[in-house]
Amino acid sequence: MPNYRDQGHLLLHKFSILLLCFVWFWISLYFWESWDFSLINLPWNYALVAIAGLLVASFGTFQNYGAFFIKNGWQRIRDSFAKSNFQTAVIAFFVFGAYFATKDKETSRLFLAFFVSGSWPVLVFSNFALPGVFKRIIGFRGVNRKSVIIGYHKSLDDLKGWMKNQESHGFSFVGSFTSTAQKPSDAKLPWLGHFVDLDQFLEENDVHQLVVVPDRKKEEWVTQVADLAAKHGCRILIFNTMSGLFDSRLVFVEESGRQFFTLLNEPLDSPFNQMVKRVFDLSISIPALIFIFPVLAFFVKLFQIFQSAGPMFFKQERVGLGGKRFVIWKFRSMHFAQKGTRDETVQASSGDERIFGFGRTMRRFSIDEVPQFINVLKGEMSLVGPRPYLAEHDYLFQRDYKSYRIRQFVKPGVTGPAQCRGLRGEFTDPQLVNRRIEMDFEYVGNWSIWLDIEIVFRTVGQILFPPKSAC
């Protein structure tokens, strides 16, 4: 869970880019009028629509905001471009959606394009520069908050990187106490002695924060330090020494009044979040099945009749939520073969002779995936989630990739966090497969409805401009 400092910076960032976008709209309008071009009708409507679009986009593009502060310049630039591309696309969708919905013939579409395209550099600059501005102006510049570390002498080195980051937030580390009378062998801070001397030290020095690194074998002294922190008005942070035992971050949870750590945050364990996700699924899948599916089914069947006779649909057993198997629906894109006459575990590859002519087009533009809205309607799949695999592939991944089955904590999706970023198609590179699975883990642990919306928008881009891996 992010701290309140990072949450505050996040809210300020969102408010700032909303304000900058609003100001840029009126600057654009001013220049447009000064150039004697056709004026825009209902400017307030479009300004508010643009802000609404940016507000929707901002909720899906600021995950792990606190981590932005410790990234290098190139990583910040890359993140800023990625966020701004998505935000600009959503603004364009909202603005031109409003234009066509209201049938506003008096508004210049050229002006709307000028405003949207001009928003992109504004957003890139804002997303890159605002975190640094907050750190310097709103942060802790000129403030010196003294900190002391107390812990087992062999464990203090675990916090070297963290201490360096804290210094950028205005904390200085004056030294360390140890839980034993033994001095650290490779001390980076002045050793102040055994923790029994801490009371006197706090009495004589103005210390803002105590950082406790417990000894796994002996932790009785931690409560004594906590009492001293309360006595002298010091903020206390207790380092979780168990986090070093695991690859993933420990998550604090409370179950029936007792406090525990778990290895994964599960937003979709909430019934409310499940309901929100289900409503989102149905709000898109039902219209798609009513208006898009019949039209596509007609043309698909027409091409199948002339190019590859056989059933319209391809059905295959896949592994879904909790390892439960279900039958997935697709438009058939390969030449028909009787069950048992072809190895279904062999994935399609570029130039695969099993795929008929129009089938290649269907696969490239993901038309063959549309019947999966039936699976969504039945509750077997979700609109967004980790892609479901064959049981045979699922077994291999489970054997070769650590914690693979975590992705089965949620329903499989028609699209997913990896697919919307172009990682789709045949499993040829183990590193790319590992990256797909890592993205699925991140999705399970960081789900939000805004993340689903972002993935849907990214998927639309992948459908319109398919990657080379699409086959």
pLDDT for res 140: 45
Is residue 74 within 8 Å of 446, Cβ to Cβ? no
Q: Is residue 250 part of a domain?
A: no
> How distant, in Å, are the alpha carbons of 111, 205, 210, 230, 460 from that of 194?
70, 16, 14, 19, 61
User: Two tokens at 45?
Assistant: 């409507």
Q: Which residue has the higher pLDDT, 157 or 392?
A: 392
Residue 151 buriedness (CB in 10 A; 0-12 / 13-18 / 19+): buried
pLDDT for res 135: 67
Question: What confidence tens digit (pLDDT) does each residue in 83-125 have?
Answer: 888 889 889 988 888 888 887 777 788 888 889 999 999 999 9
Residue type for position 386 = P
Q: Is residue 73 part of a domain?
A: yes
Q: Which residue has the higher pLDDT, 161 or 458?
A: 458
* Domain match, 444 and 398 both: yes
* Domain match, 70 and 114 both: yes
Given a cut of 80, whether residue 341 has pLDDT beyond it is no
Q: Is residue 254 part of a domain?
A: no
Given a cut of 80, whether residue 164 has pLDDT beyond it is no
Mean predicted confidence (pLDDT) in 327-343 = 85
Q: Is residue 365 part of a domain?
A: yes
Is residue 391 within 8 Å of 408, Cβ to Cβ? no
Mean predicted confidence (pLDDT) in 142-148 = 67
Per mean pLDDT, which range of 173-177, 220-224, 239-243 is the poorest? 239-243
* Domain match, 116 and 229 both: no
User: Two tokens at 142?
Assistant: 């000129």
Beta carbons within 10 angstroms of residue 280's beta carbon: 17
86, 109, 139 - which closes a domain = 139
* Domain match, 19 and 159 both: no
User: Two tokens at 18?
Assistant: 């909303």
Given a cut of 80, whether residue 402 has pLDDT beyond it is no
* Domain match, 321 and 189 both: no
E-strand stretches of 47-170 = 145-151
Residue 442 host element (H or E) = helix 430-446
Q: Which residue range is the domain that position 221 belongs to?
A: 145-245
- At a CB cut-off of 8 Å and minimum separation 6, what does 363 contact? 333, 348, 355, 470, 471
Q: Is residue 471 part of a domain?
A: no
C-alpha 410/C-alpha 382 separation (Å) is 9
Q: Is residue 450 part of a domain?
A: yes
Q: Which residue has the higher pLDDT, 9 or 314?
A: 314
Q: What average pLDDT is seen over the chain?
A: 81
pLDDT for res 64: 59
Q: Is residue 174 part of a domain?
A: yes
* Domain match, 131 and 149 both: no
Question: What confidence tens digit (pLDDT) does each residue in 187-221 have?
Answer: 667 888 888 888 888 888 888 878 888 776 666 78
For residue 266, give the DSSP letter.
Answer: -
* Domain match, 309 and 384 both: yes
C-alpha 84/C-alpha 128 separation (Å) is 10
* Domain match, 81 and 153 both: no
* Domain match, 57 and 170 both: no
Q: Is residue 54 part of a domain?
A: yes
Query: For residue 236, what are the β-bridge partners?
Result: 210
Beta carbons within 10 angstroms of residue 232's beta carbon: 16
Is residue 429 within 8 Å of 249, Cβ to Cβ? no
Residue 468 host element (H or E) = none
89, 119, 139 - which closes a domain = 139
* Domain match, 129 and 227 both: no
Provide the number of structural domains found in the chain: 3
Closest by alpha carbon to 443, among 383, 394, 389, 370? 383
User: Two tokens at 175?
Assistant: 């030294």
